[in-house]
Amino acid sequence: MRMEDIAKIANVSKAAVSLALNGKPGIGPETRDRILRIAKDSGYAARIKPAAPAKQAKTLLFLAFTNSGIVLEDFYQQPFFRELIQHTEERARSKGYSMLFSSVDMEFFERDIELVADENSGNGVILLGTNLTREQVATIAAKMPSIVVLDTLYETLPIHFVEINNIMGAHQAAVHLHDIGHREIGYVASSVRIHNFDSRKRGFKRALKELNLDLPDSRVFTVSPTVLSVQESFKEQLSAYKQASGGFPTALFCENDYIAISVMKTLAELGLNVPEDVSVIGFDNIRESIVVSPELTTIHVEKELLAITAVDLLVDSMSGDSRTSVKTVVDTLFTERLSCAAPAAVTPA
């Protein structure tokens, strides 16, 4: 019997028969078994070579816990996380690894962390820690020892962390607003509190204190961190502030770009122009920050560098024998665009 005959009986191509008989990759196990069975029945047994052992796939896992805080079920479509994931996958590929993605609903934390740990016992893990508490990170790391936590940091845990220098970024924003003449500066906070936002608030208040400015509670506003449209609650807060103080803050720092874009839309509904009436600064420098009008002044987060650092740290730790954990903080860059200007009272003629 010829190879063509085996191919016809097995309903495959002649090339597939050749791959099976020569033990080469390129066909599925079921197809290979069917071809070899037919070949043996036809007297080809002596000419069959054993299949080459499959190479161990090198895989990293990107793990997120969703529906808690700012990390939504479709977090991979949220601008900041979308860019972070893209850079992480590209870096893993350049290192010879494929990237698997897994998300767990926070409601099923205890149950599903066991399943994920069992299924990925041999894989290194990049954990998106944005919305996770210290206790949750510790629990996950105990079950997944080859791990790097991205986008948060808990100093007392002996785990690898890579995070943004949130304090520096917020400090840069406050200094800029002061330097261009603003004194009635407001702060727009997320209604959902995470490590990053708390650090940004500390950095902003620290800068104001150094500049002999204060941030009274009346100029701290609260909004949803994941809404790009007008927020009625923010309109009400601004209106109440105007009624109490006789005007609006001349500038607003927002804890992320989503909040900043929503703030600009809300200001427009109130008849206020950005930056002529109110300057606005965001944080993250997502791609959407240059689509809005005016383009958003923001704090640039080096998302690519965060991803590269996390992947490299994980790969190195998996291949080495060091028992010392590393905590890396990536600095921010102030990015000036068109949503900030000197307040009208001090604008040069």
Query: What architecture (CATH level 2) is domain 166-301+335-346?
Result: 3-Layer(aba) Sandwich (3.40)
What one-letter code names the amino acid at 296?
A: L
Q: Token pair of 6, please?
A: 């085996």
Output the pLDDT for position 46: 46
Element (H, E) at 220: strand 220-223
CB 290, CB 297: distance < 8 Å: no
pLDDT < 50 positions in the chain = 46, 54-55, 347-349
pLDDT digits (tens, 9 = 90+) for 147-181: 999 999 999 999 999 999 999 999 999 999 999 99
Query: How far apart (Å, rounded) are the C-alpha atoms in residues 38 and 4?
Result: 12
Dihedral sign from CA coordinates of 258, 263, 264, 268: positive
Cβ burial of 94 (10 Å; 0-12, 13-18, 19+) is exposed
Cα of 323 vs its chain's centroid, Å: 27
CATH code at 59-164+303-331: 3.40.50.2300
Residue 235 contacts residue 269 (beta carbons within 8 Å): yes
Contact 214, 246 (CB under 8 A): no
Please spell the DSSP secondary structure of 297-316, one letter per residue: BEEEP-HHHHHHHHHHHHHH
Per-residue b or e along 31-68, where b marks 16 or more CB atoms closer than 10 Å to that residue's CB? bbebbbebbeeeebeeeeeebeeeeeeeebbbbbbbeb
Q: What is the Cα–Cα distance from 326 to 217, expressed in whole angstroms?
A: 37
- Element spanning 79, H or E: helix 79-94
pLDDT of residue 280: 98
- In this prediction, residue 114 carries a pLDDT of 87
Q: Provide the pLDDT for residue 183.
A: 97
Q: What is the pLDDT of residue 313?
A: 95
Domain edges within the chain: 3-47, 59-164+303-331, 166-301+335-346
Q: Which two tokens stand for residue 335?
A: 């990015």
